[in-house]
Amino acid sequence: MPQSFEHAGFGVFGQVYSIDERDEIARQREDFVSRLTHDLRTPLVAADRMLMLFQQGALGQLSPQMQEVIEIMARSNSNLLAMVNTLLEVYRFEAGRKALAFQPVYLNRLLEEVTAELTPLAQQKELAINLFVGKDSTTIMGDRLELHRLFTNLISNAIKFTDTGTVSIYLKPPVACDGVVTVKVADTGVGIPPEEQATLFERFRQGSHKRSGSGLGLYLSRLIVEAHQGTIQVNSEVGKGSVFVVNLPIKQ
């Protein structure tokens, strides 16, 4: 019996697939990408450790020229490893294989930790990085590792797309009536055109800039925020910078 258009889909060369077949193909594709990215991590991690040994002088003294080459290789390898890790996390979320461990998270401390880790990156570009978290402790229920990944991505992006000026992080405690905490990451960078802002949090959206990236970082950020029942948005003006706003409920 021929399948109706409602229960069929078309593949390459005009093949007709049932919904079950399409779901199975999608599952196999996701499984393939997940396995591929997982397997790619092994040689990249090994290369990262070997390059670190070179940089530390554990394998002998390097000439200035070799040191420069090793630094470039280490930076490129690190960027590639970050892209693979991001891709792996995205597919874990999309395949429903991501299990979050919710526990009390002290946002003040988490933001201080992330800012401290990224301060050297800002200093390399002679940028001021400011953190305004207040004196009172703000606690939410969340997955600390994923929230760390979220704010690391947003703050490192702000640094990446800012050539002069500042990157500022603001923590606004929840108001009693709404129970929502707000974190803002503001920069004085290149800004984002209005036509790109609407699709900024979708997959593989890199924008019109010429800087490296997988186009998945903000998409993964959105997945993490939504897994915490929160929202993320951007306000930006070309040439004047961007402000990313994350709203998270204090309880799940």
Domain identity same for 81 and 117: no
Beta bridge partners of 18: 8
Domain identity same for 88 and 143: no
Q: Please check whether residue 1 lies inside any domain of the structure.
A: no
**What is this structure's pTM?**
0.71
Domain of 28 in residue numbering reads as 10-94
- Residue 91: name the closest of 206, 9, 204 by CA: 204
Q: Please check whether residue 29 lies inside any domain of the structure.
A: yes
pLDDT of 173: 85
Q: Please check whether residue 232 lies inside any domain of the structure.
A: yes
* CA pair distance 99, 200, nearest whole angstrom: 25
Last residue of one domain, picked from the residues 94, 113, 145: 94
pLDDT of 139: 92
- Residue 251: name the closest of 185, 177, 181, 183 by CA: 181
Q: Please check whether residue 4 lies inside any domain of the structure.
A: no
Domain identity same for 78 and 23: yes
Which of the residues in the chain have pLDDT under 50? 1-10, 12-13, 211
| CATH code of the domain covering residue 243 | 3.30.565.10
* CA pair distance 2, 184, nearest whole angstrom: 55
* CA pair distance 181, 108, nearest whole angstrom: 11
Total domains, the chain: 2
Last residue of one domain, picked from the residues 94, 113, 129: 94
Last residue of one domain, picked from the residues 94, 120, 154: 94
pLDDT of 12: 46
* CA pair distance 159, 75, nearest whole angstrom: 16
- Residue 78: name the closest of 47, 40, 37 by CA: 47
DSSP 143-179: -HHHHHHHHHHHHHHHHHT-SSSEEEEEEEPPPTTT-
Domain identity same for 83 and 109: no
Domain identity same for 126 and 242: yes
